[in-house]
Amino acid sequence: MESKKTTLESIKIIEIPKIEDKKGRGNLSVIEKDSIPFAVKRVYYLYDVPSNAYRGGHAHKNLFQFLIALSGSFDVVLDDGIKKTTITLNKPNKGLLIPKGIWRELENFSSGSVCLVLASEEYDEEDYIRKYKQFLKYKG
Protein backbone atom coordinates (compact mmCIF):
# COMPACT_ATOMS: atom_id res chain seq x y z
CA MET A 1 0.00 0.00 0.00
CA GLU A 2 1.11 3.55 -0.69
CA SER A 3 2.55 5.17 2.45
CA LYS A 4 0.13 8.12 2.21
CA LYS A 5 -2.74 5.67 2.65
CA THR A 6 -1.50 3.42 5.46
CA THR A 7 -3.61 3.51 8.62
CA LEU A 8 -3.31 2.17 12.17
CA GLU A 9 -5.02 -1.01 10.88
CA SER A 10 -1.73 -1.99 9.29
CA ILE A 11 0.15 -2.00 12.59
CA LYS A 12 0.76 -5.45 14.01
CA ILE A 13 1.94 -6.99 17.23
CA ILE A 14 3.91 -10.07 16.27
CA GLU A 15 4.64 -12.81 18.74
CA ILE A 16 8.26 -13.93 18.48
CA PRO A 17 8.74 -17.65 19.14
CA LYS A 18 10.27 -18.34 22.54
CA ILE A 19 12.29 -21.45 23.20
CA GLU A 20 12.22 -22.14 26.93
CA ASP A 21 15.11 -24.24 28.09
CA LYS A 22 13.95 -27.45 29.70
CA LYS A 23 16.83 -27.40 32.17
CA GLY A 24 16.02 -23.90 33.41
CA ARG A 25 18.80 -22.14 31.48
CA GLY A 26 16.49 -19.37 30.34
CA ASN A 27 14.78 -18.37 27.12
CA LEU A 28 15.84 -17.91 23.54
CA SER A 29 13.78 -16.04 20.94
CA VAL A 30 14.44 -16.09 17.24
CA ILE A 31 13.38 -13.94 14.28
CA GLU A 32 13.77 -15.67 10.95
CA LYS A 33 13.12 -14.80 7.33
CA ASP A 34 9.39 -15.41 7.49
CA SER A 35 8.78 -13.94 10.97
CA ILE A 36 8.36 -10.38 9.69
CA PRO A 37 7.09 -9.13 6.31
CA PHE A 38 10.34 -7.53 5.13
CA ALA A 39 14.01 -8.33 4.70
CA VAL A 40 16.17 -6.68 7.35
CA LYS A 41 18.75 -4.26 5.96
CA ARG A 42 19.64 -2.47 9.20
CA VAL A 43 19.58 -3.07 12.92
CA TYR A 44 19.91 -0.38 15.58
CA TYR A 45 19.03 -0.04 19.23
CA LEU A 46 18.16 2.65 21.73
CA TYR A 47 19.53 2.40 25.25
CA ASP A 48 20.38 4.63 28.23
CA VAL A 49 17.28 6.66 27.37
CA PRO A 50 16.28 8.88 30.33
CA SER A 51 12.73 8.24 31.57
CA ASN A 52 11.65 11.78 30.72
CA ALA A 53 13.06 11.69 27.17
CA TYR A 54 11.19 10.91 24.04
CA ARG A 55 12.48 9.45 20.79
CA GLY A 56 11.01 9.18 17.34
CA GLY A 57 8.75 12.07 16.49
CA HIS A 58 8.75 11.30 12.79
CA ALA A 59 7.30 9.14 10.04
CA HIS A 60 8.90 7.35 7.10
CA LYS A 61 7.86 7.38 3.47
CA ASN A 62 9.16 3.91 2.67
CA LEU A 63 10.64 2.30 5.72
CA PHE A 64 9.11 -0.59 7.65
CA GLN A 65 10.32 -1.17 11.18
CA PHE A 66 9.96 -3.89 13.76
CA LEU A 67 10.49 -2.80 17.37
CA ILE A 68 11.22 -5.05 20.32
CA ALA A 69 11.68 -4.19 24.00
CA LEU A 70 14.70 -6.43 24.51
CA SER A 71 14.80 -5.25 28.10
CA GLY A 72 12.44 -3.11 30.20
CA SER A 73 9.54 -1.25 28.71
CA PHE A 74 8.50 1.85 26.78
CA ASP A 75 5.40 3.23 25.07
CA VAL A 76 5.01 3.73 21.34
CA VAL A 77 2.49 6.38 20.32
CA LEU A 78 1.31 5.74 16.77
CA ASP A 79 -0.61 8.14 14.56
CA ASP A 80 -1.89 7.75 11.00
CA GLY A 81 -2.98 11.39 10.67
CA ILE A 82 -6.53 10.62 11.78
CA LYS A 83 -6.30 8.24 14.73
CA LYS A 84 -3.80 7.75 17.53
CA THR A 85 -3.02 4.73 19.67
CA THR A 86 -0.44 3.85 22.30
CA ILE A 87 1.19 0.45 22.54
CA THR A 88 3.39 -0.57 25.44
CA LEU A 89 6.24 -2.89 24.59
CA ASN A 90 7.53 -4.79 27.59
CA LYS A 91 8.37 -8.31 26.43
CA PRO A 92 11.41 -9.56 24.49
CA ASN A 93 9.18 -12.01 22.63
CA LYS A 94 6.65 -9.48 21.37
CA GLY A 95 7.42 -7.09 18.52
CA LEU A 96 5.62 -4.16 16.95
CA LEU A 97 5.49 -3.85 13.18
CA ILE A 98 5.26 -0.22 12.08
CA PRO A 99 4.61 0.10 8.35
CA LYS A 100 5.61 3.11 6.29
CA GLY A 101 3.54 6.29 6.58
CA ILE A 102 2.88 6.13 10.33
CA TRP A 103 3.97 8.83 12.79
CA ARG A 104 5.63 7.36 15.89
CA GLU A 105 6.85 8.67 19.21
CA LEU A 106 8.60 6.57 21.86
CA GLU A 107 8.31 7.58 25.51
CA ASN A 108 8.20 6.40 29.13
CA PHE A 109 11.38 4.35 28.86
CA SER A 110 11.93 2.30 31.99
CA SER A 111 15.35 2.33 33.58
CA GLY A 112 17.72 0.00 31.72
CA SER A 113 15.33 -0.52 28.80
CA VAL A 114 16.63 -1.42 25.37
CA CYS A 115 14.64 -0.91 22.16
CA LEU A 116 15.85 -3.05 19.28
CA VAL A 117 14.81 -1.87 15.81
CA LEU A 118 14.92 -4.02 12.69
CA ALA A 119 14.55 -1.87 9.59
CA SER A 120 13.70 -2.65 5.98
CA GLU A 121 16.08 -0.04 4.50
CA GLU A 122 19.44 1.50 5.13
CA TYR A 123 19.55 4.87 6.86
CA ASP A 124 18.28 7.63 4.58
CA GLU A 125 17.45 11.07 5.96
CA GLU A 126 15.42 11.74 2.79
CA ASP A 127 12.95 9.06 3.87
CA TYR A 128 12.06 10.90 7.09
CA ILE A 129 9.13 13.24 7.64
CA ARG A 130 10.23 15.07 10.78
CA LYS A 131 7.58 17.79 11.02
CA TYR A 132 4.12 16.79 12.20
CA LYS A 133 2.43 19.48 10.09
CA GLN A 134 4.24 18.16 7.05
CA PHE A 135 3.12 14.61 7.95
CA LEU A 136 -0.52 15.70 8.09
CA LYS A 137 -0.13 17.41 4.73
CA TYR A 138 1.53 14.29 3.30
CA LYS A 139 -1.33 12.07 4.51
CA GLY A 140 -3.80 14.47 2.91
Single residue of 11, 56, 116, 118 touching ligand TYD by CB under 6 A: 56
Segment lying near ligand TYD (by CB under 6 A), choices 39-47, 67-75, 80-88, 93-101: 39-47
CA separation, residue 64 to residues 3, 23, 43, 48 (Å) = 10, 37, 12, 24
- The C-alpha atoms of residue 6 and residue 80 are separated, in whole angstroms, by 7
Half-sphere exposure of 108 (CA within 13 A, CB side): 10
Q: Is 47 in the site for ligand TYD (CB under 6 A)?
A: no
Q: Is 44 in the site for ligand TYD (CB under 6 A)?
A: yes
CB 74 within 8 A of CB 109: yes
Residue 58 falls in the annotated catalytic set: yes
Segment lying near ligand TYD (by CB under 6 A), choices 38-46, 62-70, 74-82, 94-102: 38-46
Q: Report the nearest approach of ligand TYD to the CB of residue 23 (Å).
A: 38
Q: Is 67 in the site for ligand TYD (CB under 6 A)?
A: no
Single residue of 45, 123, 131, 134 touching ligand TYD by CB under 6 A: 123
> Buried b vs exposed e over 120-131: b needs ≥16 C-beta within 10 Å?
bbeeeeebebee
Q: Is 55 in the site for ligand TYD (CB under 6 A)?
A: yes
CA separation, residue 47 to residues 1, 14, 92 (Å) = 32, 22, 14
Q: What is the Cα 134 distance to its own chain's centre? A: 21
Q: Report the nearest approach of ligand TYD to the CB of residue 38 (Å).
A: 15
Question: Residue numbers of the site for ligand TYD (CB under 6 A)?
Answer: 42, 44, 46, 55-56, 123
Catalytic residues: 58
